[in-house]
């Protein structure tokens, strides 16, 4: 079987505080809540799915008492959005007001964008570049 390159992509991450993450990604970044659920039974988790309705990807945040692993982001755990233009100052204000922290991501990403850590410490890079499959 060959996988269709238009297949939907889900990025799943553990989360300490879904309300804080929702403020960051919805109020700050502008994503929408696509789905939410509360885990009521053994082995179930609280889930928050965020994205844009027509996008081919979404971010799933999972929280609760029985997580297999708590959030443990590293400096290399990046969610990169290619904006193909400058990062708007009002967007940066919204992200920091919604609980984000601007961080340095090293010379390459500092040159080509802005990096903000979400409330769990995972890094969102807003790249001024456009994406192509030959991007480096």
Q: ∠8-13-17 over CA atoms, to 5°?
A: 130
DSSP E strand boundaries for the chain = 9-14, 32-37, 46-51, 57-63, 78-82, 101-103, 113-117, 123-127
Q: Phi, psi (5° rounding) for residue 20?
A: -65, -40
User: Is this structure's pTM higher than 0.75?
Assistant: yes
* Segment 52-61, tens digit of pLDDT: 989 999 999 9
pLDDT in tens, 112-121: 999 999 999 9
Structural domains for the chain: 9-127 (3.10.180.10)
Q: How confident is the model at residue 39 (pLDDT cuts 50, 70, 90)?
A: confident
pLDDT at 133: 59
Residue 20 DSSP code: H
pLDDT reading at 134 higher than 70:
no
């Amino acid at each position: 079987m060959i996988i269709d390159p238009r297949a939907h992509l889900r990025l799943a991450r553990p989360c300490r505080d879904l309300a804080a993450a929702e403020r960051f990604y919805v109020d700050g970044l502008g994503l929408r809540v696509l789905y939410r659920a509360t885990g009521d039974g053994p082995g179930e988790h609280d889930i928050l799915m965020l994205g844009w309705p027509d996008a081919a990807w979404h971010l799933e945040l999972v929280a609760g008492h029985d997580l297999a692993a708590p959030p443990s982001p590293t400096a290399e755990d990046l969610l990169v959005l290619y904006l193909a233009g400058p990062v708007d100052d009002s967007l940066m204000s919204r992200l920091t007001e919604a609980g984000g922290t601007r961080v340095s991501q090293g010379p390459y990403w500092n040159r080509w964008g802005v990096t903000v850590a979400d409330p769990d410490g995972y890094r969102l890079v807003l790249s001024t570049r456009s994406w192509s499959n030959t991007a480096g």
